[in-house]
A and B are shown apart, each in its own frame.
Chain A
Amino acid sequence: MSTNGTYVDRGAPPAHRDAIIRVRDLAAGFGDRLIIDGLDLDVWRGEILGVVGASGTGKSVLTRAIIGLVPKKRGTVEVFGVDLGEASLKQTLAVERRWGVLFQHGALFSSLTVKQNIQVPLREHANFSPRLMDEIAMVKLDLVGLKPAAADLYPSELSGGMIKRAALARALALDPELIFLDEPTSGLDPIGAQDFDELILTLRRTLGLTVFMVTHDLDSLAQACDRIAALGDKKVLAEGPISDMRRASHPWLKAYFNGPRARAAAAEI
């Protein structure tokens, strides 16, 4: 990753719209309490979608419901054209190999080193020689901006930002077509966050990656995201490019995208 300059060649979302994730009338929650109720959302192939919302509005729950970690109460979730509610185990596994997930708190395996963590998907789902596995792990480490010395550390020996990067490297291990990121830049220093945006854009340009990104980082939203979906009242309040968001009339959106921090972020670009 390079850090020179603030200009990022964003590439462009493809003109042809092909839904890679299609969520319809989704309801999910815990016990009797619905966190998400009647939510519709599309994510197009090759786009970078930013999901925003106040803390506790259910961004993580939505992500987990799409991935299938939170059982849904109603509605359908289609990923890569496969309805995950109806899919057979084999189909589900096939879909799971094509996506990568970065959890909010990293979720690295605590008894494996960083390198071994990155190699878990390689070991399980691909047939690489030991040498190639080591090399690929180091390539991914370098890609996310970690020093080679971090490879042999255990997660408990990493800083917060390093955990994020290592988890990202693991999520990217198998070159997924779709990646879910839950607050990828929280805990990164500003340069690291900038590098992260550039990395995501590079991967989108080179590998055609589709990105579903929960974030509070206004710079990331402005620089990296093609489209933003704002969650609130258990639904998608509004969706569209950041220029639309700045004109939105909903009070929370107004406060969020026109607050002092948002203006500062906009001024930089």
Chain B
Amino acid sequence: MAAFAADSDLLPPSGTPHRLRLSGEWTAAHAGALEDLVDKTGKTLAGRNVTLDLNEVTRVDTVGAHLLDRLRQDIMDSGGATSIEGARPEQSILIAAISKDERIEFRPPAPRLNALVGLVADVGRGMHSAWTDVTSWVSFLGSVVASAGRVIVKPRNFRLTSFVHHLELVGLRAVPIIVLIAFLVGCIIAQQSIFQLRYFGATIFAADLISVLAVRELGVLLAAIMVAGRSGSAFTAEIGSMKMREEIDAIRVMALDEVEVLILPRMLALIVGLTLLAFLSTMACLAGGALVSLIYGGISLDVFISRVDYMMTMDNFLVGMIKAPFMALVIGLIATIEGMNVEGSAESLGIRTTASVVKSIFMVIVMDGIFAMFFTAIDM
């Protein structure tokens, strides 16, 4: 026997009552076939006076009951009438609980915008959100400065423990990876510049090149990019999940300032940590350069150091180091703002964390460019 059936072969002339015998299992397992059957039968019996006979139905679950209801509604909507017979008590309770007076609307999805209009709208939205990004960064920077001011007036409010904890995470724990990367980049640059300068017999100047590059640009840039990826994303995720679980709200209602409690210690840890890391990374870059110069370029360590000593003026050194705290500030701002913008869903946490990393790396590079122009303009 089929798992279910609706027997309605002989159609009497319309107007006379008609008996529809249903049988088998009306359950979710047979939903697809049942739905076809219901829709076909509903059309055939449109406008008739039908008695649904459930005597041979063995099982009904909510899906079956809903489909029975749909069949009844279809017939009644087309001007017919229905009644149910032979339902067991528990079946009639279920059917009564499921059936409703109004029909459930089946709404097709909303039509999509024209592709070109959609593209233009997207670009517009992107521009607008870039602008609101900038304004929110500035206003957030303001609240951080204000809270820093309050802490300077009342140093007891500074969260030293939290600062030290984050300094360890941001700074100390990042030392191995940043030193390694900077060292390798130093090696690569030395190898390339020696290879190119060899044609001119100017191998020795590779040392000058490496030291200027490492001290002015590479050391701080590498450290900043690593910190943005490592710690910026972590801050966004931490603050975002606190936001999701209403922990930030809890901090606020306890008359605490979330900027002071959460953000200031992280921001300071970033500033101190990135400055120290930038220095280490510069040194590692030089060390990598020195090693390759010795092995591949035949420049002895003494000569290398004397070239570095000659090139690395206080100006050059400051140009590199001064950038670190500013980059840290921007990384921290972006990370915390993105974290604060997390909404209720896990998905938005993911989107915000990605945005935090992408935006802060982008901003680090933009800032590096701006600094370069600035220092050129003031002859440093």
Q: Name A residues whose Cβ lies closer than 8 Å to a Cβ of B.
A: 1, 109-111, 126-129, 131-132, 134-136, 138-140, 142-143, 148, 154-157, 172, 174-175, 202, 205-207
Does B90 lie at the interface of the complex (its beta carbon under 8 Å from any beta carbon of A)? yes
Please tell me if B116 contacts chain A, counting CB pairs below 8 Å: no
Give Cα A142 to B65, complex, Å: 14
Which DSSP category, helix, strand, loop or mixed, fits chain A's interface? helix
A128-B31, A140-B62 given; A206·B345 CB < 8 A = no
State how many angstroms separate the Cβ of B66 from the closest Cβ of chain A. Answer: 5
* Chain A residues within an 8 Å CB radius of B29: 126
B339 to chain A, nearest CB (A): 16
How many angstroms between the C-alpha atoms of A140 and B61 in the bound complex?
12
> Could you list 7 further interchain pairs (A-B, Cβ under 8 angstroms) beyond the known A128-B35, A175-B61, A205-B93?
A129-B32, A136-B62, A148-B104, A155-B344, A172-B62, A175-B28, A205-B90
For the complex, is B98 an interface residue (Cβ under 8 Å from A)? yes
Tell me the chain B residues, 29-76 only, with Cβ under 8 Å from chain A: 29, 31-32, 35, 60-63, 66-67, 70
- List chain A residues, Cβ under 8 A from B62: 136, 139-140, 143, 172, 175, 207
| A156 close to B94 (CB less than 8 A) | no
In-complex Cβ contact of A174 among B28, B32, B97 (8 A): B28
B193 within 8 A of A: no
List 15 A–B pairs whose Cβ atoms lie within 8 Å, in order of A's numbering: A110-B244, A129-B31, A129-B35, A131-B106, A134-B104, A134-B107, A135-B70, A135-B106, A139-B104, A140-B62, A142-B100, A143-B97, A154-B344, A202-B94, A205-B93
| B100: chain A residues within 8 A (beta carbon) | 142
Q: 7 closest Cβ contacts across the A-B interface?
A: A156-B344, A111-B347, A110-B345, A206-B94, A111-B345, A175-B61, A206-B90
What is the size, in residues, of chain B's interface with A at 8 Å between Cβ atoms? Answer: 30
Q: Given A202-B97, A206-B97, do A157 and B63 touch, yes or no (CB 8 Å)?
A: no
Residue B147 at the A interface, CB < 8 A? no
Residues of A within 8 A of B27 (CB): 175
Q: B258 at the A/B interface (Cβ < 8 Å)? A: no
Distance in Å: Cβ of B62 to nearest Cβ of chain A: 5
Residue from A109, A148, A205, A207 with most neighbouring chain B CB atoms (10 Å): A207
How many Å lie between the Cα of A139 and that of B60 in the bound state?
15
Which residues on the B side are within 8 Å of A127 (C-beta)? Answer: 31-32
The answer for the CA separation of A138 and B70 in the assembled complex, in Å, is 13
Contact (Cβ within 8 A) A132 B31: yes
